[in-house]
Structure 1
Amino acid sequence: MPDRLPPLTALRAFDAAARHMSFARAAGELNVTPAALSFQIKSLEDHLGQPLFRRLNRAVELTAAGRILAPGAAEGFQTLSAAWLQTRRLRDNRTLTVTAGPAFTAKWLAPRFYDFARAHPDIDLRFSAGLRIMDFERDEIDVAIRFGLGPDPGLFAEPLAVEWLTPVMTPELAKRYPTPDDLSSAPLLFDDSLDFLDTKCDWAAWFRAAGMDFVPHHGVQFSQADHAIDAALAGAGVVLGRRALVVKDLDECRLVAPYRLALTLDAQFRFLCPEGLQERPHIKAFRKWIWSEIEKTANISEGLQLVAAKDVPPA
């Protein structure tokens, strides 16, 4: 039996037949006749020196050799297809597909993307909002903005601005609750989206950092950060606002942060793309634009007393 690989067309025919367990359906997928597909598989079996299928009356089934070959053939073609698509996409500098969480998309990207589109009319920007970890090759993603600690093996990973949490509310509510002590009687909103972090970054931690022995137990809870912020914008209460998600509302005075004490997080938003692709023109332009937008509101962090959440004494 020769060691060299058999023809790719024969392996392709086997892969399709093994997946469908039908020569007719496999032939339909490959747009060839059943006779042509059967010939390819027979040539593969001759190359191997043993059968890959048992031909039954109205069906086929894999032999022991076929069961060994099938998963490797399927994985090989999947890998080859992904590599081919990724290679073809290297020629496409017009379409930029970005994935980010729903909150970051709603509160950071969506309100700003018009400026990027106006500055780069030659780039078609596409957003895919979701928390599912996406595969850059399989899902044809160019850039991901993700929140967490990493690590991000095999990827170009660039942390964005330091993330902090501080109480934010409408200017009207700030007049009613001018000091941290007043928060004990304020309607508090709970953002549960950070519960996955090992270091607690909740209301109880913020009050301890402020030197207050107060543990809130009542308030409306939200699983999505942007929903909690929307409730605060509506005047429903006070929320621990995350920098990236409230900075635009703070800059435009829809929300205020009157107490100046903020908890910093180890976790950060990160700009991610496959290693080596960060210099592609459309990815480089998007990355540069993100940093320019961050710089526009950098003044919001000035004057804050930053306390690392991990350094807050436990309860």
Structure 2
Amino acid sequence: MQRRSLPLSALRAFEAAARLGSFKAAAEELAVTPTAISHQIRALEAQTGLALFDRQVRKVALTDPGGQLYPVLRDGFDAFESTLARLMQQRMRAQVSISATNAFTVKWLMPRMADFRHRHPDIDLQLQATDDVVDLRSTAIDIAIRYGRGPYPGLAIEPLFTDRFAPVANPRLGVLSPDDLARVPLIRFDWKHVQRENPTWERWFAAARRRRPSQVGQLRFSDEGHAIQAAVAGHGIALVSLALVAEELEAGHLVQPFGPVIDGHTYHLAMYADRPTSAPVRAVAEWLRAQPRPD
């Protein structure tokens, strides 16, 4: 018997009658008449050429073929029921999507996910990590974390915190003072949007009133997260966001041996101004606002 010709209604009637031991009880469960159940099962027996029930005066009993078929159908229908229930439950759960840069998503949002799940177990977060600017008007993104001065037309914007940058290095390198920069490679990363205010090594040396050592080597990355990992691995000293390396500093994987600390850009909480916000979106926004600000 091919799948496309399976008599699903008859199989459902058979499974109910076998499970309940009665055509009448099966009819009540399926909201049909006992005669309809009997006709469906007889049609199934005719199609398969198998006697599935031993019909007695006040009850029915499974034959050997019926006894072999019943557990297969029972388990199959149970699997259908549980899977559909799970899928429907997922659909009914609140989902909120956040767009942020790759580095911010991995180094700032991800470490806080356990706290979010503890506080909001009924909301599923969807994180979209991208360094491209996502248009909230034409996507399903609910909240964006914007980094920079803007402008951000069409968005409701509020600042979360202003980033700060300082040199950090693996403590094994023994970097203790700015003089050690002459022997340790400088780790750089490319800013996607070049602005004069970007916290670069050039800005840092100007703030420190020092000249960059001419003989020092460099490592350059396209992503700030990669620059952070290179510093953790001990490949040099990186000028990176202190907010994004807070865990590494606390764990001792990185140290901030000296200043000065220079300001970066500001992280903003952004939502589409003309789009009504749901209760789950407002809850996520409030959770973001409540996060401790970097020192």
- TM-score interval, normalised by the smaller of the two chains: 0.5 to 0.7
* One-letter amino acid matched to 2:122: D
1:196 and 2:194 aligned: yes
Distance 1:128 1:274 in 2: 16
Q: Secondary structure of 1:248's match?
A: helix
Distance 1:195 1:138 in 2: 22
- Quote the RMSD (CA, aligned, Å): 2.2
Deviation of residue 276 (structure 1)? Answer: 6.0
On the 8 A contact 2:123/2:280 being kept in 1, the answer is: yes
* One-letter amino acid matched to 1:252: A
Distance 1:205 1:227 in 2: 21
Q: Which residue of 2 aligns with 1:160?
A: 160
Structure 2, unmatched stretches of 5+, are: 1-91
* One-letter amino acid matched to 2:266: Q
5 Å-filtered alignment, 1:133-282, equals 133-173=133-173, 176-193=174-191, 196-215=194-213, 218-265=217-264, 267-275=265-273, 280-282=278-280
Distance 1:215 1:283 in 2: 49
Deviation of residue 244 (structure 1)? Answer: 2.8
5 Å-filtered alignment, 1:64-79, equals none
On the 8 A contact 2:167/2:238 being kept in 1, the answer is: yes
* One-letter amino acid matched to 2:183: S
Distance 2:277 2:198 in 1: 37
Distance 1:123 1:134 in 2: 22
* One-letter amino acid matched to 1:109: L
Deviation per CA, 1:134-165: give whole Å up to 9, x if none. Answer: 22242111000121211112211111211111
Distance 1:262 1:278 in 2: 40
Q: Which residue of 2 aligns with 1:114?
A: 114
Distance 2:117 2:275 in 1: 21
Identity, % of aligned positions: 34
On the 8 A contact 2:188/2:218 being kept in 1, the answer is: yes
On the 8 A contact 2:184/2:217 being kept in 1, the answer is: no
On the 8 A contact 1:104/1:244 being kept in 2, the answer is: no
5 Å-filtered alignment, 1:9-24, equals none
* One-letter amino acid matched to 2:279: P
Distance 2:108 2:268 in 1: 14
Distance 1:109 1:207 in 2: 30
Q: Secondary structure of 2:211's match?
A: coil
Q: Which residue of 2 aligns with 1:304?
A: none
Deviation of residue 285 (structure 1)? Answer: 1.9
Structure 1, unmatched stretches of 5+, are: 1-91, 302-315
Whose Rg is larger?
Answer: 2
Q: Which moved more, 1:218-227 or 1:182-191?
A: 182-191
Distance 2:258 2:242 in 1: 14
Deviation of residue 194 (structure 1)? Answer: 6.1
Deviation per CA, 1:190-212: give whole Å up to 9, x if none. Answer: 12226612235321221221121
TM-score with structure 1 setting the length: 0.59
Deviation of residue 121 (structure 1)? Answer: 0.9
Distance 2:193 2:98 in 1: 25
Deviation of residue 215 (structure 1)? Answer: 4.8
Q: Secondary structure of 2:235's match?
A: coil
Distance 1:194 1:215 in 2: 26
Deviation per CA, 1:108-130: give whole Å up to 9, x if none. Answer: 11222122022111111101111
